[in-house]
C-alpha cells in the first residue's frame, strides 16, 4: 500500500475564502462555543450485522482499556466481544467482514484486520476453556427455539443471560446449521464449532436433536409446553436453476452438495463440474470439488455417482479415493467477475486452486443425453454496459460437464409449517422479529432473509430482547437508529466503582431541584457533564476525524496455507494461520478509535489556554480521560481540530 494516500491537508492551495461563520466558529480569537465530548458509533460496528462493540475489544487488545481486576486482556476482550456474538472463533474465520469494508482506515491505507483479532480472541477462549457465567436469575419462563444453527443458538445464549429456560429443537444429528453442514471443515474446524456450541449448551440449554417440529412433534404441543417460540430453521433448501432440464438427476444445489460433503458421505465428485453462482456458497462448492477430485468410470459404481450420494443419502467408499484424480471445475456467473458478491480474497484463492471462473454468462438450458442425464450447460454471453443484463445474440455455447451445481439462492424447508410460509419459502417478521398474526412466535436468520451467519446472530440479539418483553408483558422499547451493542460510559464507571452520586430532587438538602435549573453542572458529582452519547443515532465518518495524526502502518496480515493447483487434491487441513499475540496487539494499535477518545493528549498539548486537562487518575476511565475548564476556554476550537478520533465537538453553549 502506497504511503502517498496518507498525505492529509485540512486546507488546500487556493482555499483562502472563509466559510459560514457558524460552521467555521471563528469570531476574532474567541467563540461562544466550547468543546464537548461526543461518543459516536464507529463505521466498523455500524457495518457489523451482529452489532459487536468492535472498537471496544480492539481497545482492550491494544492495552488501552483495561479490566477493573486482574483478568487477562484476552478474556476481557472475549467478554466484550461475546456480549453480541457468542462465536468469535468461528466468525473470525468465516465472516466476510463487512466491518473491514466500513473501516475508516480505508481512507488512509488499509483496513484494520478485525477478523484476525476476533479469531485470536475466540481461539484463546477455547484453549483456556472460558465459560459463559452470566446466566440470569430463573424467570420460570420457557422458550422453544426451532433450529440449532448459529442464529438459534445465539438466541438461546441471549435468553439464558436473561434467565429464561430454552430448548433447541433441530432435525439433524449435529447442531450448527449451515455453519456445520454448509461450510467446509478446512474453513471452520469441527472442534472450533463444537467448542463454541458446547459453551452455550453448558449454560443449561436443553437440546433435542433429530426432532423436526411439525413432523416429530406438533406445533400445538410445543405451544402448550412453551411460553414463546423462536423460528430459526435457516434456509437450507437450495433453489432450482429455473431453466429447461434443471430436473436432471446430476443437477443439484450447492446446499445439498456441501451437506453431503460435510456429513462425510461424499468422498469424490465428478470429472467435469460446472457451478453456477457468485456468492460464498458457490466459492465453497468449487473449492470442495477441487479438493475431492474424481475417480475414473471403471472405478465408479452407479450408486456412488455424486448425484446419488447427494440425493439418496448414500455414502461413497473411502478406499476408492486412493485412485482419485483432479476434477475440471468451472464457475459460471451471470454478472462480471468483479461484481461477484463473494469476498475478493475467496475469488483469488479458488482461482489459485485451479478453478476456472467465467463471468457475464447466463444459463439457458441443461443439455441432456438419451438417458436424461446432463451432459452440458448451455450458456449465453451477456452485456451489462447499459446497467441491465442484455443477451448477446448468437453467443450461446455449451460448457460440457458431468455434474451441475446451482448456488443461486436458498429457501426454507416449510414441511409441517406451511401456514407460516409467506409464499417465497420464507417467514415474515416485523422489526422486533415477531411473526405477524402469530402471538408468541418470533423468527430470525435466513428464514426471514437469507444473508450471512453474522446477520442471524444480530437478529438473535434483538429477538431475544423482544421475547423478554413479551414474556414479561412489558412494552417493546423503540429500536434505536443505530441498533448495535454500544459502549456505555455509565457501565464503565460502575465497573470501576466510580458511579455518579445519587440524585433526588425531592431531598431537602439535596442538589438543586430541576425547576431551579441544572445548567452548569461541572462541579456536581451526580452528573457526567460535557459528555453526550450520540452512538444510538450517529455513525462517525472519516471526514470528522483528524486523519493527519495517523502514520502509515502496514497491516499485520493473517497468513493462509499455500494451496494451489499442485497440492489442492485431498488438501483438507485448516487454511488460516492465526496471528501471534504480538501481531494481534500491533494490529489493534492500528484502530483509529473513531468516535471515542484514545488518550493521545493532542487536545491537552495544543490548547493555548491550558483549558483542557487530564482527569485525575482516580476518576478516569475510558471515555473520561480529558475535561475542560470553561472558565479558561475561549472557544478557539483547536482541540476539536487536532482530535484524531472526532470525539470533540465545539457544541457547548449552543
Do 622 and 529 lie in one domain? The reply is yes
Domain end, chosen from 422, 443, 472, is at 472
Total domain count, the chain:
3
Say what the pLDDT of residue 630 is: 86
Q: What's the whole-number mean pLDDT along residues 266-289?
A: 94
Do 246 and 233 lie in one domain? The reply is no
Domain end, chosen from 380, 408, 436, is at 408
Do 210 and 252 lie in one domain? The reply is no
pLDDT tops 80 at residue 459: yes
In a domain, 85, yes or no: no
Tell me the CATH number at 648: 3.30.70.20
Do 277 and 386 lie in one domain? The reply is yes
Select from 253, 251, 218, 211 the least CA-distant residue to 233. 211
Distance CA 227, CA 89 (A): 32
Do 438 and 386 lie in one domain? The reply is no
Domain end, chosen from 408, 434, 464, is at 408
Do 503 and 652 lie in one domain? The reply is yes
Do 426 and 519 lie in one domain? The reply is no
Do 401 and 527 lie in one domain? The reply is no
pLDDT tops 60 at residue 135: yes
In a domain, 346, yes or no: yes
Distance CA 459, CA 155 (A): 8
Do 312 and 228 lie in one domain? The reply is no
- Share above pLDDT 90 across residues of the chain, in percent, rounded to a whole number: 75
Q: What's the whole-number mean pLDDT along residues 400-409?
A: 94
| CA atoms 272, 277, 279, 280: torsion sign | negative
Distance CA 603, CA 549 (A): 12
The answer to whether 454 and 92 are in contact (CB under 8 A) is no
Distance CA 517, CA 531 (A): 18
In a domain, 136, yes or no: no
Tell me the CATH number at 290: 3.50.50.60
In a domain, 59, yes or no: no
In a domain, 94, yes or no: no
Q: How confident is the model at residue 196 (pLDDT cuts 50, 70, 90)?
A: very high
Alpha helices (H) along 252-376? 254-262, 280-292, 306-312, 344-352
Distance CA 355, CA 337 (A): 13
Do 363 and 402 lie in one domain? The reply is yes
Q: What's the whole-number mean pLDDT along residues 493-513?
A: 72
Do 452 and 512 lie in one domain? The reply is no
Do 338 and 399 lie in one domain? The reply is yes
Domain coverage including residue 315 = 240-408
pLDDT tops 80 at residue 377: yes
In a domain, 187, yes or no: yes
In a domain, 564, yes or no: no
pLDDT tops 80 at residue 235: yes
pLDDT, one tens digit per residue, over 534-557 is: 999 999 999 999 999 999 999 999
In a domain, 317, yes or no: yes
Amino acid at each position: 500500500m502506497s504511503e502517498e494516500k496518507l498525505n492529509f491537508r485540512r486546507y488546500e492551495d487556493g482555499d483562502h475564502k472563509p466559510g459560514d461563520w457558524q460552521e467555521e466558529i471563528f469570531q476574532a480569537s474567541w467563540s461562544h462555543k466550547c468543546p464537548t465530548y461526543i461518543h459516536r458509533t464507529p463505521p466498523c460496528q455500524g457495518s457489523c450485522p451482529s452489532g459487536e462493540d468492535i472498537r471496544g475489544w480492539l481497545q482492550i487488545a491494544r492495552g488501552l482499556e483495561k479490566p477493573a481486576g486482574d483478568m487477562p486482556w484476552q478474556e476481557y476482550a472475549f467478554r466484550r466481544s461475546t456480549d453480541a456474538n457468542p462465536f468469535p472463533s468461528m466468525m473470525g474465520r468465516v465472516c466476510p467482514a463487512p466491518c473491514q469494508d466500513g473501516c475508516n482506515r480505508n481512507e488512509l491505507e488499509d483496513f484494520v484486520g478485525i477478523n484476525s483479532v476476533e479469531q485470536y480472541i475466540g481461539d484463546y477462549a477455547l484453549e483456556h476453556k472460558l465459560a459463559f457465567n452470566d446466566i440470569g436469575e430463573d424467570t420460570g419462563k420457557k422458550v422453544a427455539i426451532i433450529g440449532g444453527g448459529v442464529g438459534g443458538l445465539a438466541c438461546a445464549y441471549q435468553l439464558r443471560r436473561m434467565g429464561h429456560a430454552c430448548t433447541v429443537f433441530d432435525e439433524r444429528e449435529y447442531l450448527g446449521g449451515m455453519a456445520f453442514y454448509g461450510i467446509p471443515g478446512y474453513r471452520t474446524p469441527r472442534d472450533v464449532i463444537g467448542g463454541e456450541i458446547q459453551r452455550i449448551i453448558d449454560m443449561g440449554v436443553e437440546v433435542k436433536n433429530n426432532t423436526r417440529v411439525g413432523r416429530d412433534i406438533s406445533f400445538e404441543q410445543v405451544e402448550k409446553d412453551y411460553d414463546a417460540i423462536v423460528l430459526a430453521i435457516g434456509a437450507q433448501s437450495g433453489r432450482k436453476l429455473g431453466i429447461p432440464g434443471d430436473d436432471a438427476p446430476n443437477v443439484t444445489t450447492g446446499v445439498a452438495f456441501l451437506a453431503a460433503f460435510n456429513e462425510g458421505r461424499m468422498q469424490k465428485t465428478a470429472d467435469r463440474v460446472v457451478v453456477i453462482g457468485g456468492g460464498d456458497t458457490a466459492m465453497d462448492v468449487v473449492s470442495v470439488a477441487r479438493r475431492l477430485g474424481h475417480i475414473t468410470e471403471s472405478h465408479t459404481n452407479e450408486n456412488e455417482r455424486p448425484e446419488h450420494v447427494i440425493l439418496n443419502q448414500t455414502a461413497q467408499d473411502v478406499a476408492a479415493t486412493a485412485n482419485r484424480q483432479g476434477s475440471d471445475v468451472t464457475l459460471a456467473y451471470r454478472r462480471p467477475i468483479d461484481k461477484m458478491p463473494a469476498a475478493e480474497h475467496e475469488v483469488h484463492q479458488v482461482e489459485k486452486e485451479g478453478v476456472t471462473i467465467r463471468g457475464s454468462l447466463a444459463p439457458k438450458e441443461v443439455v441432456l443425453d438419451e438417458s436424461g442425464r446432463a451432459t452440458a450447460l448451455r450458456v449465453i454471453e451477456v452485456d451489462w454496459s447499459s446497467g441491465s443484463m442484455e443477451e448477446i445474440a448468437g453467443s450461446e455455447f455449451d460448457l460440457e460437464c458431468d455434474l451441475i451445481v446451482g448456488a443461486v439462492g436458498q429457501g426454507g424447508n416449510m414441511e409441517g409449517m406451511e401456514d407460516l410460509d409467506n409464499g417465497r419459502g420464507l417467514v415474515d417478521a416485523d422489526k422486533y422479529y415477531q411473526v405477524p398474526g402469530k402471538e408468541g412466535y418470533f423468527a430470525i436468520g435466513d428464514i426471514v432473509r437469507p444473508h450471512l451467519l453474522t446477520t442471524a446472530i444480530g437478529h438473535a440479539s434483538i429477538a431475544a430482547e423482544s421475547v423478554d418483553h413479551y414474556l414479561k408483558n412489558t412494552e417493546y422499547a423503540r429500536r434505536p437508529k443505530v441498533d448495535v451493542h454500544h459502549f456505555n460510559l455509565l457501565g464503565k464507571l460502575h465497573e470501576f466503582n466510580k458511579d455518579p452520586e445519587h440524585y433526588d430532587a425531592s431531598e431537602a438538602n439535596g442538589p438543586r431541584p430541576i425547576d431551579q435549573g441544572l445548567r452548569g453542572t461541572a462541579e456536581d458529582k451526580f452528573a457526567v457533564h460535557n459528555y453526550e452519547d450520540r452512538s444510538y443515532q450517529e455513525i462517525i465518518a472519516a471526514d470528522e476525524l483528524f486523519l493527519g495524526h495517523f502514520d502509515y502502518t502496514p497491516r499485520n496480515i493473517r497468513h493462509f496455507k499455500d494451496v494451489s493447483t499442485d497440492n489442492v487434491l485431498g488438501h483438507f487441513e485448516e487454511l488460516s494461520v492465526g496471528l501471534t499475540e504480538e501481531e494481534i496487539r500491533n494490529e489493534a494499535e492500528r484502530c483509529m478509535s473513531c468516535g471515542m477518545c484514545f488518550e493521545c493528549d493532542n487536545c491537552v498539548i495544543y490548547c493555548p489556554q491550558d483549558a483542557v486537562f487530564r482527569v485525575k487518575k482516580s476518576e478516569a476511565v475510558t471515555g473520561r480521560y480529558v475535561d475542560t475548564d470553561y472558565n479558561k476556554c475561549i472557544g478557539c476550537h483547536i482541540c476539536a481540530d487536532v482530535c484524531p478520533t472526532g470525539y470533540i465537538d465545539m457544541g457547548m453553549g449552543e
